[in-house]
Structure 1
Amino acid sequence: MNIRNVRAFPVDLSRARKAEKTSLQRKGRQPAGPMDRYPEYRGRRGAAGPAWPSAACIVEADDGTFGLGLTQHSGPVLPIVNEHLRPLLTGQSVMATEKCYDLMVRASAAYGSQGATSYAISAVDLALWDLKGKLLGRPVYELLGGPQKDRIICYATGFDIAWYLELGFKAVKLPMPFGPDDGIDGLNRAVEMVEETRSAIGNDVELMLDCWMALDVEYAVRLGESLRPYRLKWLEDYLMPHDLDGFAAVRRRLPGQGLATGEHWYLAEPFLYAAEHRLVDIFQPDVKWCGGLSAAVRICHIAEAAGLTVAPHGAMNDPYGQHLVFAMPAARWGERSSGVSPPGVPLADMVELPGTAVIEDGCLVPSDAPGFGIESDRAWLDRVAV
């Protein structure tokens, strides 16, 4: 069975949700980000970002069966998929996911296989795996050799701590609202925030802190040292992703503190370098950004060989990450981000892809339906298309 067509188009998945996402603001302030050094953007994460909608990709087989992949940044993704990757993959075997992935990475090398191109590759790769599973009548996690675990232990990201505990989560992650440009006051307020949270959750719930590229080496070290009494499981994404020497410096200067990053690393190669140089303890690839499932599996194998763990970014938000974590031994945690759900709103009301498994009592078991188990038909695609 060969690939008949590949097509990418913009989508608005909020049209499929029953409830609105909760805000990640804390006391009127957005989480910190790399643009916070400029006053007009401080405390307004994402304000400088593009307004591109998300992107969906359909890969269709000769018999009309199709697989669905998703990613972000449709602005650059659509022309890469529709003008370059489509003719490259048309006529290739649906089952040849390794070849198709290699073709996309090599063919895009001249203009860069990482960054925006990696988002495009991710969408196509996920659609291919979905299609492959449908044609074989098996869930994707079985195609990867899973299941490796009987359930996925999940954590929630956001500020509605009491609600997360009520939902059964045994681990929570706070977005960091402050950075170097907030000075000592910001550092003190960050410590106060973590102290209040640890007091609220007790010592039987894990606690993490996501700094989303907002810090520098000195601030990250000062923050990590100040937070030692509160037993953070990990400090996350504290430097710009290209600052590999900075990651090495923080690793040297914060011994004993769990460190995590990787959602803005693309393809497997940065993770291999990080493993070889012991830059962090936990890898956090996003399966919809890093090059798709084919890249994410490589990253998990690198981590496993190096004795590291994987906590993929936003993995419990949709079936793609769910199937990856369910199959891979190195993947120990599943993140429910995107605001989780507003207090009092069931997690099921936040589902965007029909057929997505829902977290129950802090754990999740993915759908065992063929492919990623996404129950999308042409009518649903028409409804979310922009």
Structure 2
Amino acid sequence: MKIARIEAFPIQSDMKGALYKGDGTEGRRPPWTKGAEVAGPMSGYARFKKLRSTWRYDGAVGCLVTAEDGTTGFGMTRYDLPVIHLVNDHFAPLLVGEDCMAIERLWDMMVRMASPYGVAGIPSYAISAVDLALWDLKGKLLGQPVYALAGGPVRDDLFVYATGNDTDWHMELGFRGTKLACPYGLFDGLDGLARNEALVAERREMVGPDVELMLDCWMAFDVEFAVRLSERLKPYGLRWIEDCLLPENAEAHDELRRRLPGQTLATGEHWYALQSFATACTRRMADILQPDICWAGGFTGCRKIAQLAEAHGLEVCLHAGANTPYGQHLSVTSPAIRWAEYFVGGAPGVPLEENRVFPTMPVPVGGRIAPSDAPGFGLEMTDALLESMRR
């Protein structure tokens, strides 16, 4: 079966309005995402310190791959017009007419097409969108869920932890693990260390000793700040600290690993090329690798990363892996993936079903999740839903 058409287009980032049309549940209070300060790489600049939205360039992207018989597959990614341009004006014209079932070949072709301007970053987002759509299409053509095409599940379901700072709501939902967004970073100095410790201490007291607790530092530290904070947080039994450093400086990651031998480190959300993860594996720069399936080469790319990690005795936990059917399907197929992350951005009191992207997508129940067994990724992409997603 040949590829007849590939199209990338802008879609809504928040699907609640499209799916529920204003009839959703009223939250008990505004969600933590409404105005909470979260540390990041721009925190040293006062007018950008408070909210990431003041400086980030974003924009959700959908990708539809159509086969000769009219069957379609759908993928998603981010970063708006640059990604859309790459897919529609570079990849699509060269991939149309290729065998839509030959996904390894198509993935390799896209990587090589992007090599003159570099695979990592924006091109990796574009590759991810096309790759996910191809896996969805293949599953639909063969009448199989993607996890079956990838070799079948290695476990029946996944342990899921919640990310966000509405910790009480996470406990009410039955999660047995929760990750905090760190509010203060390098530029907050000693006061930032103290206030971060106070937050972690408060939340450890709230959840008790039998719930896993993690800290997401979102590129807001240098090595020294990360070491000092880790030392202060030892009494609170963190499962890991995450994404402490800017992604490109491999030597800094090596140094952090050397200076914190007893601290579990997680990172990789902002790595994209397969070679970056290969380097991290061979140098053991972190214990847990966290690629995003919509950013780091799609299902094919993240499957390769998981296999690399498994061969090196490392763990993978996909960034927001339980928030999409894509991540759910890959996660159950890999021995290296033991946990899944679910970002909770909705208000406390609003059921998780009301903040999902796809209306039939499974959401965590009691801190566990299993993917749909419908063909492809089980997206149930009707023409009406697709139209409602476009912006």
TM-score greater than 0.5 by the shorter chain? yes
1:223 maps to: 229
- The 2-side partners of 1:75 and 1:116 are apart by 10
Structure 1 CA distance, aligned partners of 2:81 and 2:339? 31
Runs of at least 5 residues in structure 2 that lack an aligned partner in the other structure: none
Query: 1:13: how far off?
Result: 4.3
Aligned length, in residue pairs:
383
The corresponding residue for 1:111 is 117
Q: Where in structure 2 are the equivalents of 1:359-378 lying within 5 Å?
A: 359-378=364-383
Of 39, 58, 81, the match for 1:32:
39
CA distance in structure 1 between the aligned counterparts of 2:264 and 2:32, rounded to whole angstroms: 24
CA pair 380-337 structure 1, distance change in 2 beyond 3 A: same
SS in 1 for 2:52: coil
**Do the aligned partners of 1:88 and 1:103 also contact (CA within 8 Å) in 2?**
no
Distance 1:338 1:170, change over 3 A: closer
Give the 3-state SS of the residue equivalent to 1:279 in structure 2: coil
Per-residue displacement from partner, 1:305-357 (whole Å, max 9, x unpaired)?
01000110001111010001011110111111152x32111111111113211
Indicate whether 1:273 and 2:279 are aligned: yes
How far 1:373 sits from its partner (Å)?
0.2
Stretches of structure 1 that go unaligned for 5 or more consecutive residues are none
Answering whether residue 169 of structure 2 is matched by residue 163 of structure 1, we say yes
Match of 2:151 among 145, 150, 170: 145
- Quick one: which amino acid aligns to residue 40 of structure 1? R
Alpha-carbon distance in 1 for matches of 2:19, 2:226? 37
CA contact 2:19–2:359 (8 Å) conserved in 1 = no
Is residue 347 of structure 1 aligned with residue 349 of structure 2?
Answer: no
Give the superposed CA RMSD: 1.4
Cα distance in 2 for residues equivalent to 1:211 and 1:169 = 21
1:297 offset after TM fit, Å? 0.2
Distance 2:132 2:359 in 1: 16
User: Does structure 2 conserve the Cα–Cα contact (< 8 Å) formed by 1:32 and 1:214?
Assistant: yes
Structure 2 CA distance for aligned equivalents of residues 351 and 30 of structure 1: 24
The structure 1 residue matched to 2:316, chosen from 310, 318, 337, is 310
Structure 2 letter corresponding to 1:36: S
Counterpart CA distance in 1 for 2:361 and 2:269 is: 22
3-state secondary structure, aligned to 2:228: helix
Matched, 1:183 2:189: yes
Cα deviation for residue 384 of structure 1 reads 1.3
Deviations 1:237-291 (A, max 9, x none): 0000001111111111111111000111002111110010010000000000001
- Which residue of the other structure, out of 190, 194, 205, is the alignment partner of 1:199? 205
Q: CA deviation at 1:375?
A: 0.7
Is the contact made by 1:7 and 1:57 (CA closer than 8 Å) also made in structure 2? Answer: yes
Percent identity at matched positions? 49
Determine helix, strand or coil for the equivalent of 1:227: helix
Which residue identity does 1:3 align to in structure 2?
A: I
Structure 2 residue aligned with 1:264: 270
Residue type of the alignment partner of 2:42? M
Shift of 1:53: 2.2
Q: 5 Å matches for 1:48-59? A: 48-50=55-57, 52-59=58-65
Deviations 1:108-136 (A, max 9, x none): 10011110010000000000000000001
Aligned partner of 1:278: which letter? R
TM-score, length-normalised on structure 1?
0.97
Work out the CA distance in 1 between the residues paired with 2:50 and 2:351: 29
Partner in structure 2 of residue 16 of structure 1 = 18
In structure 1, the residue corresponding to 2:266 is in which secondary structure? strand
